[in-house]
A and B are shown apart, each in its own frame.
Chain A
Amino acid sequence: MVKRRTFITTKSPNKYINLLLTTLVSILIGAVIMLALGHNPIEAYIQLFKGAFVGKLNLGTTLQKFAPLLLTSLAFATAARAGVFNVGVEGELYLGAIAAAWIGYTFTSLPGPILILLCMVVAALVGAAWSYIPSSLKAYLGVNEVCVTILMNYVALYITSYLVNGPLSAKTGVPQTPTVAAGAKLAQFMKPSQANMGLFIAIGVAVLVYWILNKSTLGYKFTTVGLNPLHAEYIGIKPEKSIINSMFLSGAIGGIAGAIEVLGTYGYFLDNFSSGMAFDGMLAALIVKNDIKMVPFMAFFLAVLKSGALGMERYTGVPKSVVDTIIAVFIIFATMEALFAFLQKRKAKLVEEQI
């Protein structure tokens, strides 16, 4: 009896089926909302699909939105590996972005590729340094990191806003920095959209992060600490160190995301440019429960929803915020571990019968 029970509980629940069901349920709820507003949901979803994929501009916009989303979702998932909820990716992104912009328009004499590399490295360092504040508070004092990181987002936003309105302003009346050197800009493809080479940098970073988290000792330490800090301490892994290291990595990825936005999409730092990019990334990571293999797909799915929403609003009149609502409902269902437990129960019964 005991043996059988352990067998059933250790069998991994089929999370992919759960994810699929959650997706369907949230799309259905979205359809119900649209119906209630007097719109045709099928038409709306078709326009959403068209708005994301059909045409060079639409597909390019989807890809352009995908690059930072991929990075921010990875940033969140990396910290979550060690059991830290890093809601502060937004702040890291802003600070990384402004650092990249400053390097980009100051050291104009450097050759292009080196300048780009320098921008990325400095942005990553700034992001990592910023993440040290919440991570050290969490590791050594046990301060709730969600609270600290969210509050720090506001601080980061105001710091960049001050810089871009004061010392680093281009003095054009618009709160933005001077444009970075031509060599520092990431090449755009699929014009007239703003898709750029940052996409490939993001994918490269994703591969690297996957390797670190799943194949390296560092990643193993993160996972062990995330699963059980006491156990980690017992087998000689310092939880404090792993928490701080995972946040360093997370902050660095966030900083790179900001640098890509500046060097690829805009060419300068614009005050308040992100509009919750990092929060969308966090949602992508939360929905797939930080499964690093699924994160890129979910980030892409959200990028599709986000860029398709514009087309949907334009052609059917369904407000864009409906899509935000669908995503929020999606994540609420996705966080409920036991929502589709009845499936597992049925499976468990089957297994029992087989035995």
Chain B
Amino acid sequence: MNFDSIFDYTLIYATIRAATPILFAALAAAITEQGDITNIGTEGIMLTSAFAAVLVSYTTGSWILALIVSMIAGVLMALIMAVAHIKYKADITAIGIAINMLALAITKFGIKQFLGTTGSFTDPKIVGIPKINIPFLEGNKYLNGIFNNWSLMEIFGIVMVLLLTFLLYRTVWGLRLRSVGRFPMAAETAGINVNRMKYQVMIISGVLGGLAGAHLSIGYSQMFIENMTNGRGFMGVAAMFFGGANPALAWVGSLLFGFVDSIGGRLQAYGWPSQFVLMLPYIITISVLAFSMWRKKRREEKAKSSLTIATVKN
């Protein structure tokens, strides 16, 4: 096995490329987690908007319009969840699963009704999200391989990480949101409209989930396949747990999955059975999830033990 050809400089961009759909999903989950909602429905939001993006891009030929419609589709799905959970007291996990089911059903239905096929749909008329080409980097092999020809969404993903970090940790709104996440009743007492906060984060989550879906279907690839998210929404949720709902740490989590995904693809060339390569990201996700929760538990136990010492001293 030649390690040089697995771990070379092209791995950097491959990692970022594979991580971006998961990153958007992770951000969509992180923002709601900060507001006390574990958004299991990310997968469904992604799938619906992936379909919407392909449909609009195919019929109108405009990727900007496709992006906008997919965000609207994402927000609609998120709002169904929000109304059901906040107004009608649906269990968030149950409604999340229900939304995923709904997404699977309506996209299956939509692909037959509007695109006239079943299974998968691809067409040269689908206009993808453009890649950024910087001619002046082309001279250098390494700079070209690492920094050139990024998809617009890959750059936008990193911008979103910074933006959300700023929003959560540097603004009044973020402080209020985090207080809702910590202890909703206390936030309510302090005069924060908890339900309004929750609706707001669900809408933001819908926008982010919509971007995730659009990137998957018209950025990362240019097609729609039944159930094409293939657990990426859940990997996003796992990345969010890994980062403890912190956008920057969630980004690290999604990069890790992207890294494993890219290496897996390369290992396949060395005769690994494809099934093992395909299951690798899922196994890593589960292990990382377990590890991060173990660390969190350790930390909490430590915090608790120091608390008891403090009370004893008092």
Contact = CB atoms under 8 A, between A and B. Distances in A.
B102 A325 contact: yes
Q: Give the 3 A-B CB pairs with smallest separation, nearest first.
A: A336-B88, A324-B105, A328-B102
B231 A151 contact: yes
Contacts of B297: 141-142
Nearest to B279: A158
A154 B230 CA distance: 9
A200 B203 CA distance: 48
B237 interface: yes
Given A151-B234, A166-B273, 15 more contacts: A87-B97, A142-B297, A143-B290, A148-B286, A151-B238, A152-B282, A159-B279, A165-B275, A321-B108, A324-B104, A325-B109, A327-B105, A328-B98, A328-B106, A335-B84
B262 interface: no
Q: Secondary structure of the A side of the interface?
A: helix
Interface of B is mostly: helix
Give the interface residue-count category, chain B: 35 or more
A283 B101 contact: yes
Interface of B: 38, 40, 80, 84, 87-91, 93-99, 101-102, 104-106, 108-109, 112-113, 230-231, 234-235, 237-238, 241, 273, 275-276, 278-279, 282-283, 285-286, 289-290, 293-294, 296-297
A336 B84 contact: yes
A335 B95 contact: yes
A151 B285 CA distance: 8
Contacts, number: 135
A339 B105 CA distance: 23
Contacts of A283: 98, 101
A306 B88 CA distance: 28
Interface string A130-164: 00010001000111101110111011001101100
A137 B293 contact: yes
Contact of B90 (A87, A143, A161, A337): A337
Contacts of A321: 105-106, 108-109, 112
Q: Indicate the size class of the contact surface on chain A.
A: 35 or more
Contacts of A327: 101, 105
Q: Which of B38, B97, B238 has the most CB of A within 10 A?
A: B97
Contacts of B89: 336-338
A155 B278 CA distance: 8
A333 to B, nearest CB: 8
B40 to A, nearest CB: 5
A154 B231 contact: yes
Contacts of A332: 80, 84, 90, 95, 98-99, 102
B234 A150 contact: yes
B80 A162 contact: no
A146 B99 contact: no
B109 A141 contact: no
Nearest to A285: B94
A327 B94 CA distance: 14
Contacts of B234: 146-147, 150-151
26 contacts: A37-B113, A141-B293, A144-B38, A146-B93, A146-B234, A148-B290, A151-B235, A154-B231, A158-B278, A158-B279, A159-B279, A165-B273, A286-B97, A319-B109, A321-B109, A321-B112, A324-B105, A328-B106, A331-B94, A332-B98, A335-B95, A336-B84, A336-B95, A337-B88, A337-B89, A339-B88
A322 interface: yes
B98 A144 contact: no
